Amino acid sequence: MLDRILNFIGIRTIPVSKTADKRERHPGNVAGHFYSTVGCIICGGPAAVAPLLIAHIPDGDGEHCVVIKQPTELLEIQVMIEAMHSSCIDCYRYDGSDVNIIKMISDKGMAHLCDNGSG
């Protein structure tokens, strides 16, 4: 019923199965340790927080945000982690093993978004 209401007012919904594997990297991400996973409800948070690192791209009949530039400097890493935090459905993950970055992510309460543990 909720799906019908959301579709009626123009909000695209995604099947639950599409979000089942939260480590499925969206192919639109540039190579690197930060990535968005497949499945989007167009929350818009990460691209608003980190417009130089994350952007929306066309995806099927909708859109999806992806990493367009991997962070390299501390400030960029901090911005990327803020962007991760802004995703309402935990779309962003970190698959690296830098203990400092894993700690920064964990300190924001997002240890579950680190593929290689919480440091």
Binding-site ranges for ligand SF4 (CB under 6 A): 36, 40-46, 64-65, 87, 89, 91
What is the smallest separation between the CB atom of 62 and ligand SF4, expressed in angstroms?
A: 9
Which residue, 44 or 119, is less far from ligand SF4 as judged by CB?
44
What is the smallest separation between the CB atom of 72 and ligand SF4, expressed in angstroms?
A: 21
What is the smallest separation between the CB atom of 18 and ligand SF4, expressed in angstroms?
A: 11
DSSP for 8-70 reads HTT-----GGGGS-TT-B-TTSPSSSEEEBS------HHHHH-TTTEEEEEETTEEEEEESS-
